Amino acid sequence: MDREIDTRTGSYTGQSINNLQNAVYLRLMTPRGSYWADVNLGSLLYTLEREKDVQHISLLAKQYAEQALQPLINDGRAADIQVTTVQPHNGRLYLHIEVTQQAGEKFTFNCTVKVI
């Protein structure tokens, strides 16, 4: 069990969780290469904040999220991860991530990416 990280504030909530929510959050929200202990931890989603709100950004966001979350599958913590995107062209892009853990339990994680 881990202490839950609040995805809105980045601080601990005081609750305990037994899923991969914290691992997903850290891999998506940490800029890739910025963590001293593992330069491969993180994603390139932060680079999209400088991109215009055009259609191909949705594909890039999906690829960046899948790349960041692939280590969870590689090390056997997750059985499957599905990433879908919604781009309403309002300066935001929404990632909907469904994670299937090895025990078969599923949970969803939603992430917002700002674009210009």
102/73 Cα distance (integer angstroms)? 9
Other Cβ atoms closer than 10 A to 2: 14
Dihedral angle over CA of 41, 75, 24, 65, nearest 10: 70
So what's the pLDDT on residue 9? 78
So what's the pLDDT on residue 5? 80
Reported as a single tens digit per residue, the pLDDT across 62-94 is 999 999 999 999 999 999 999 999 999 999 999
85/111 Cα distance (integer angstroms)? 10
Query: Which residue type sits at 71?
Result: P
Q: What is the DSSP string of 36-88?
A: TT-TT-SBSGGGGGGS-S-THHHHHHHHHHHHHHHHHHHTTSEEEEEEEEE--
Reported as a single tens digit per residue, the pLDDT across 20-54 is 999 999 999 999 999 899 889 999 999 999 999 99
Given pLDDT bands bounded at 50, 70 and 90, which one contains residue 95?
very high
7 pLDDT exceeds 90? no
* Entry pTM: 0.90
- Buried b / exposed e along 18-35 (16+ C-beta atoms within 10 A): ebbbebbbbbbbbebeee
So what's the pLDDT on residue 63? 97
